[in-house]
Amino acid sequence: MHRLSSRPAGLTLLTTAAALAAAAALLALAGPAHAEEALIQPRTLVVDAHLDRNQAEREILAARRYGSFWSTGEEALARAALAPDFMDRTLPPGRAQGLAGPLAASAGFRQAVPDLRCEIAQMIVSGDRVVSHLRFTGHFSGQFHGRAGQGQAIDFIATDIYRVQDGRIAENWHLEDNLTLLQQMGLVAL
């Protein structure tokens, strides 16, 4: 791991290569049931150096599973990432609480953007919290609120704050750049 002097004391920054190595180690620790998962990896990973290594690895794995769920739509990844009593603390109107909310949101969004991909641009791990800065890309070639896409490029960001307990995301606070998304879809004027 590389320590950068520009980071506050106690934080470790992993570059992409180091993040890839850490991710491979996490998959090995996850066991055979998850060894085949093609989990997305953070481009930049910052971990509190004072955090217990096993705890950090469990938190990173949960966040990677959840990011991979958004990238693939595979329900098994969401089920593995989220605690049975998962709470969305910034629940959008009309979205169900718990696991049902993200599952429905992903399915609905994939109807609009079938080639949706999610990237974890950076991940910060400290205590029982993980902050994931996400980037979503794809093309609006499906249907969204009765409107057909014309193949418009989609590229917007989101930031999630997870509280991880027992290796699964128990709570999530999230903020998406919906204005940019709606502008790219042609649903809101620039």
- pLDDT tens sequence across 57-79: 999 999 999 999 999 999 999 99
pLDDT bin (cut points 50, 70, 90) of residue 14 is low
pLDDT bin (cut points 50, 70, 90) of residue 38 is confident
- Residue 98 phi/psi, 5° resolution? 80, -165
Burial (CB count within 10 angstroms: exposed 0-12, middle 13-18, buried 19+), residue 2: exposed
Among 26-30, 42-46, 114-118, the minimum mean pLDDT is found in 26-30
Close Cβ partners of 55 (under 8 Å, ≥ 6 residues apart): 128
Is pLDDT above 60 for 44? yes
pLDDT bin (cut points 50, 70, 90) of residue 35 is very low
3-state SS class at 162: strand
Average pLDDT, the chain: 87
Model confidence, pTM: 0.83
Place of tokens 């481009």: 43
Candidates 177, 181, 169; CA nearest to 67 is: 169
Is pLDDT above 80 for 28? no
Close Cβ partners of 33 (under 8 Å, ≥ 6 residues apart): none
Q: What is the pLDDT of residue 190?
A: 81
Q: Do 83 and 168 contact (CB within 8 A), yes or no?
A: yes
pLDDT bin (cut points 50, 70, 90) of residue 33 is very low
